[in-house]
Structure 1
Amino acid sequence: MELSTPRLLLREFQENDWHFTHLYESQESVMRYQTSHVRSSQESRDYLLQCMAEAREDPRTLFDLAVVLKSTNMLIGRVGMKIDYDAEEAALWYLLNPTYWNKGYTTEAARALIEYGFEELHLHRFWADCDPRNVGSYRVMEKLGMRREAHFKENIFIKGEWCDSLVYALLDHEWQHRQPL
């Protein structure tokens, strides 16, 4: 599977991509709000191999795609969704090398995946969550047209502390009636 945007190519991961994912998964600033800790080289490789194996399942429920900058062919991050076909919804996520933060790449990649989910898979709803301290993450959700549905207080224990969660969502008919960029 491949999706293309003006600046990005979203593609399936390849085994040697772990070298690039480890560049950002080994940084505390990137992993701070993730449920997993900073990853070792082996952990980055193992995680990528696990994602590749899940991508071969039928029906496919996990879409975890490499975000590649077209101009340099550099893998700069990942964007993904986990689909619940019974509920006709998908959980959205994204993770980007901090060298490429604040350039609109995350929003561009996530928008392409959402479009694929609504237009090709006929999903009804996308949702995503983040720690309220992760301002960049919820700003991406807002740029995508997602609306805040909930602010849960201390609902998840991550890395030794109780954390809040913001939940955002977008429905298929909201996507269809969004304002053009």
Structure 2
Amino acid sequence: MQIHTPRLLLREFKQDDWHFTNLYESNEEVMRFQTSEVRSSRESQEYIQQCLEEAKEEPRTLFDLAIVLRTTNMLIGRVGMKVDYDAEEAVLWYILNQTYWNKGYTTEAASAMIHFGFDDLQLHRIWADCDPRNIGSYRIMEKLGMRREAHFRENIFIKGHWCDSYVYALLDHEWR
């Protein structure tokens, strides 16, 4: 599977992509609001292997794609969705190498995934969540046209602390 945008290629992971994913997965600032801890090289390799295995499932419910700059062919992050076909919805996520923050790449990649979800998968709703302290993440959601549906207080225990969550969502007819 490949999705092209003006500046990006969203593609399936390859086994040796872990070298590039580990550049951001080993960065404490990038992983600050992620549910997982900073990853070792081995953990990044295992994550890529898991993505490759899950991509083979039928029906496919996990779409976790590499974000690659078209001009340089550099892998700079990932964007994905976990689909629940019964509910006709998916949860969206993204993570980007800090070097490429504030350039619109995440918004461009996430927009392409939303387009895929609504147009190709015929989903009714796409949602995402983030820690309210992660201002960059919820601003991306707002740029995508998502609306804040909830602010859950101390609903998830991450890295030794109870954390709040913002939940944002977009419906198919709102996207169009």
Shorter-chain TM-score range:
over 0.9
In the alignment, what sits opposite 1:3? 3
Q: Under a length normalisation based on structure 1, what TM-score does the superposition of the two structures give?
A: 0.97
Q: Secondary structure at the match of 1:71?
A: coil
Q: Under a length normalisation based on structure 2, what TM-score does the superposition of the two structures give?
A: 1.00
Residue 16 of structure 1 pairs with residue 16 of structure 2: yes
In the alignment, what sits opposite 2:140? 140
In the alignment, what sits opposite 2:173? 173
In the alignment, what sits opposite 1:119? 119
Task: Give matches, 1:17-56, under 5 Å.
Answer: 17-56=17-56
The structure 1 segments of at least 4 consecutive aligned residues displaced by more than 6 Å after TM superposition are none
In the alignment, what sits opposite 1:67? 67
Residue 82 of structure 1 pairs with residue 79 of structure 2: no
| CA RMSD of superposed structures (Å) | 0.3
Please list the CA deviations of residues 39-69 of structure 1 after superposition, one character each: whole Å capped at 9, or x if unmatched.
Answer: 0000000011001100100000000000000
- Hey, what's the Cα distance between the residues in 2 that align with 1:141 and 1:115? 14
Amino acid of the structure 2 residue aligned with 1:41: S
Unpaired runs of at least 5, structure 2:
none
Q: CA deviation at 1:78?
A: 0.1
- Hey, what's the Cα distance between the residues in 2 that align with 1:150 and 1:52? 33
Q: Secondary structure at the match of 1:63?
A: strand
- Hey, what's the Cα distance between the residues in 1 that align with 2:145 and 2:52? 30
Q: Secondary structure at the match of 1:164?
A: strand
Please list the CA deviations of residues 80-110 of structure 1 after superposition, one character each: whole Å capped at 9, or x if unmatched.
Answer: 0000000000000000000000000000000
Residue 161 of structure 1 pairs with residue 165 of structure 2: no
- Hey, what's the Cα distance between the residues in 1 that align with 2:78 and 2:173? 26
Q: CA deviation at 1:119?
A: 0.5
- Hey, what's the Cα distance between the residues in 1 that align with 2:128 and 2:110? 11
Amino acid of the structure 2 residue aligned with 1:86: D
Amino acid of the structure 1 residue aligned with 2:27: Q
Q: Secondary structure at the match of 1:53?
A: helix
Unpaired runs of at least 5, structure 1:
177-181
Q: CA deviation at 1:133?
A: 0.3
In the alignment, what sits opposite 1:95? 95
Amino acid of the structure 1 residue aligned with 2:103: K
Q: CA deviation at 1:163?
A: 0.2
In the alignment, what sits opposite 1:104? 104
